[in-house]
Chains A and B, each alone.
Chain A
Amino acid sequence: MPNFSPLWTSRATSAQRDLEPGFLPLRFLLLGLLVSGLFVPMLPASAADALERGRALAQRVDNRPDGDDAASQGTMVLSEAGREPRVRKLYSFRREGAGGEVANLIRFTAPADIADTGLLTIDHADGSTDQWIYLPALKRDRRIPSSRRGGRFVGSDLFYEDLQDRDVDEDRHRWLREETLEGVKTEVLESVPIDPDSSVYGRRLSWIHPETLIPMRVDFYRPGEPRPFKRLRVYKVERIQGYWTVTDSVMKDLESQHQTRVVNEQTVYDRNLPERLFTNRALQDPSLEQRFRP
């Protein structure tokens, strides 16, 4: 499987010196919808150009081919200075519905005391999201309100918002500049929520590779703050079944230096995952999904 570029491979290697082996569950979990946007024409011509170009770029990122469905196996590694990393194994499934609905199911398999804990997320076409969490020890699931965007997903550096679909039109996008990142040419895109209450972030800056349309780096800002507090870095991208797929990325809390590495060990696209796999019944019964695991 070809690497994205020699330089990226090199970067991934250096990053791996510092990190435990791991993997990314699903590209969409983290990246697929981080960059999207709405364009509102502004007064100055150059500013208007930047907004137009930004929205177009965001739309292209949103439209990037990623299959009708995908099933992945991976590892989530939580690290902080001076501490042994904590490793979780998981499977994840994604399915895009005909009406624009996107469904995700994440199932943890290790460590043993949390095995079978699951999260089901349904991003509706109207922008609303439903989420349920399943605890096997209780044998019941519970709805998590969509307003809980800023909650940390299973104690990681990923917020629930990072796991949700975000429509391009929910943000105002602005193309800022071209920039070489680790030797690779990228385009820098700024995305600001039109409704500040719709996101836990006040602003996002994305360094997008123009050919794969994958954000190689995303800086996350709290509302009103000049410095980012979180940063996503993509360290490895592979082409799987013709789809560019992030297989190694790190989300880092820039204040605590705590970081979450997600390594995608195996991904299979377009297996016609059934709709019933993304229901509360399936969430409560891990056996239903087992034959679809990669």
Chain B
Amino acid sequence: MLNPLRLPPVAALLILVVMAIAPLVAAALSLTINNSAEAYVPPQSPAAVFERELRERFPGDEVLVAAFAGEQLYGDAFLERLEQVVAVMQQHPLVERVLAPETLDHISGSVDGFQVEPLLDSAIRTRLTPAERRARLQADRFAPGLLVSDDGELIALAVRPHELENSLQRLEVEGAFLDALGQVGINDALVALSGQTPLDAAQLRATLRDSLIFVPATLLIGLALIAWLFRRWLALIAALAVMHAAVGTALLTLVLLGQPFTLVTAILPPLMVSLSVALLLHLYNALALVERGSGRHAGVGAVEGAGAEAAVADVAATVARSRRVERAWEAIHRPALFTALTTAAGLISLSMSEIPPVHALGQAAAVGVLMLYLLVAWVLPAIFARWDRGGWARPGRGINVLDAPVAWLRRLGMRRPLWVLLVTVGLLAAGAPRIADVEVESDLFRFFKADHPITQSNQLLTEKLSGVTALEVVFEAPSRGAFKELEQLRQIQGFREWVAGRDEVDRVTTMVDVIEEMHWGFHAEDPTNRRLPERGDLIAQYLFIYDGNDLWELVDRDFQTTRVLLNLNINGARQINATIAAIEDYLQQQPLGELDFQTAGFGRLFGDQEQLLIEGQIRGLLLAAGLIFVLMLVIWRSLSAALLCMVPNLSPILVIFIVMGLFGIWLDLATAMIAGVAVGIAVDDTIHVYYGYRRRRRAGRSPVWALARTFQHAGRAVVATTLILSAQFLILGTSQFLPTMEFGLLTALGLVTALLFDLLVLPALVMVTAGAWFRRSTAPASSPTGGQTE
């Protein structure tokens, strides 16, 4: 039989040290950070494939939008400095183009002239007064809503980066922009900074800040509780090493999966720390109990009884050190394996999500959990056998306060099982309709609180300029030159008129706008000619002589593909999808002939997450339930027992969704992870409780006696573990970043709910069902009234 004590202590120590350091260092050196919309879309999805194809022909839609306000906004001093900022940013290697008054094409005409010139560069500026400059910007076809507010109170520019590889590059672009503002001294005039680049930079900062706060916080809470419970330096040091190893392994798995660190996978470090503490508690409990108690308690009792009162002072002294560890190991390694497998199963269910970060989180955390089990069950025993000297402290008195509520709940469940079950079912049934209220919605701006600069910037830009959610409608024709033809351009024009009338659409830009401006310019700016010409050859000639840049961002040079750019004032995936659906419905009803159309851009990629979230959540929950049920079947070798154990683990998921429906919490990127994580962790307690119960039943005890004794021993352990884990997740609830906060609070809710089901509903279920199947499936029991001693 395998025995971890056969591992040489020095080798065990070496393994622990290497595992504590190497994966973490390797992950730190190779982990990339990327929170862009593309990172959340399966690379082979149609939208992602089309997006990559589109970007080979047209620039991306990611921008940094900055708006300025002030009394001298149109004066030389400010505009000169703004031009310097544009020049600096144009030179930046990560920047593709800066859309600013001096870089945007302005089409104009006179009695005998026509020109496409910069909207407002230094040469034009010098011949205009500030009032004329303002009027020029406001009168331009393309600037209002993009570079100037309708009331002229804001001037804006948009920095468009090249395709960026990660969030650090976005941070760099934002930093370079703010530096440029600082160098020319107009940072005081900056009133809003938004768009995908600053949004991602803000998410990165929030994610890193949370990691810097909460990883040490959860680690300190775990270590403090271990110190309080066991008062052993070796226990503390080993715990620290195991936590490092678990976090490092999970992060390194992320690297090997080719996935970046995102706001989703940022959950990994605190999650792994919490799971480490949970598993370590069982080993340390066992060691403490073996030392204090008799060998009789070192079995199931060791697992269960953090505070078992059966302290026999002299026994530990007589047990050889390695024998003590061996007995503790014998007590925990099977339930530890079971719980590791079930936790990994819960986590691996996340890999059913097609959203790459959620998918990767599940796999990385599952690998981390298995590493945890290997270290705790197979490496630490040799270390403790060799170097663990001295006595283990008795658990602090504080933990005794847990006895009373545990006993009360257990008695209630056992004495009034039907009532408990009926009330539970009644409550769940009453709350169940609220599950329908759970909205599947993701809004990246909603991740921040209302007073966060990015939220306020977004509001200001949406109110004064236009929404920053970019959506593209791409039209493709079967042959080149199609979009020089009047018929096709009228289709685009018709679509523009229709879509511009929608409330959520702040701004529409099409190639038809450019043609209309050229027609107007060629007719000495006669307003009646600001329209699409009636003649196809004239359109072809306008397009032939067009010498600006902006047209080529709207149509390819073959005039075979054109895109309509929309700025939406909505940010939620579901809202965006509703707009996409409306656009598709409209276009499908139009006589487009051979024209094909597709939606693309940030809005499309982000909107696709809605469906992926729903599908991932349903498939993930089914997989989690299925895997855990199979594992229960393997562990208990009883269909009824496996079914019974599923109840206290699936019900918390219902409760989480009921609470989400009640409080209007969306099912989004952050909350989609909760069910898998919660069920994976919560099932541990069920296994520990039911393991003890079954063992006593197999020893011939009655159901009542077995339940009472099990809860007497296991109650404190499961309560202590849940409280520690909940404390670690609850502290995430203090985050200013909503994904972290909601994940922490709801996971803690799930764990506490699972504990209540274990302490109250599980005994009730056992009592109700015991008569039905225990008599058949186990050895003849003694009188249910008990009277035996264990």
Contact = CB atoms under 8 A, between A and B. Distances in A.
Contacts of B543: 155
B547 A153 contact: yes
Given A113-B536, A114-B540, A197-B123, A147 B545 contact: no
Contact of B557 (A86, A140, A225): A86
Interface stretch (B67-75, B106-114, B227-235, B327-335): B106-114
A45 interface: no
A209 B375 CA distance: 74
A155 B548 CA distance: 8
B557 A148 contact: no
B544 A225 contact: no
Contact of B558 (A84, A135, A151): A84
Interface string B520-554: 00100000000000011110111111111000000
B443 interface: no
A183 B547 CA distance: 37
A29 to B, nearest CB: 15
Given A135-B542, A142-B522, A197-B123, A151 B116 contact: yes
Given A133-B114, A148-B115, A153-B547, A86 B558 contact: yes
Q: How large is the interface on A (under 10, 10 to 19, 20 to 34, 35 or more residues)?
A: 20 to 34
B557 A151 contact: no
19 contacts: A78-B557, A80-B557, A86-B558, A113-B537, A114-B540, A135-B541, A135-B545, A136-B537, A137-B538, A138-B538, A142-B109, A142-B522, A143-B112, A143-B114, A144-B114, A145-B117, A148-B116, A152-B547, A197-B123
A132 to B, nearest CB: 9
A108 B540 CA distance: 13
A39 interface: no
A133 B109 CA distance: 13
Nearest to A159: B547
Interface of A: 78, 80, 83-84, 86, 108, 113-114, 117, 133, 135-138, 140, 142-145, 147-148, 151-155, 160, 197, 224-225, 258
Contacts of B114: 133, 142-144
Nearest to A80: B557
B105 to A, nearest CB: 10
B52 interface: no
Contacts of B536: 113
A266 B538 CA distance: 30
Interface of B: 87, 91, 109, 112-117, 123, 480, 484, 522, 535-538, 540-548, 557-558
Contacts of B542: 135
Given A113-B536, A133-B114, A137-B541, 13 more contacts: A83-B558, A108-B544, A113-B540, A114-B544, A117-B544, A117-B545, A137-B538, A138-B538, A145-B115, A148-B115, A148-B117, A155-B543, A155-B546
Nearest to B538: A137
A133 B547 CA distance: 12
Contacts of B123: 147, 197
Contacts of A143: 112-114
Contact of B113 (A113, A144, A154): A144
A158 B522 CA distance: 23
Contact of A154 (B117, B484, B544): B544
A267 to B, nearest CB: 24
A155 B547 CA distance: 6
Contacts of A137: 535, 537-538, 540-541
A86 B522 CA distance: 26
B390 to A, nearest CB: 68
B2 to A, nearest CB: 60
A222 to B, nearest CB: 9
The 3 closest A-B pairs by CB, nearest first: A151-B547, A137-B538, A113-B540
A118 B544 CA distance: 11
Contacts of A258: 557
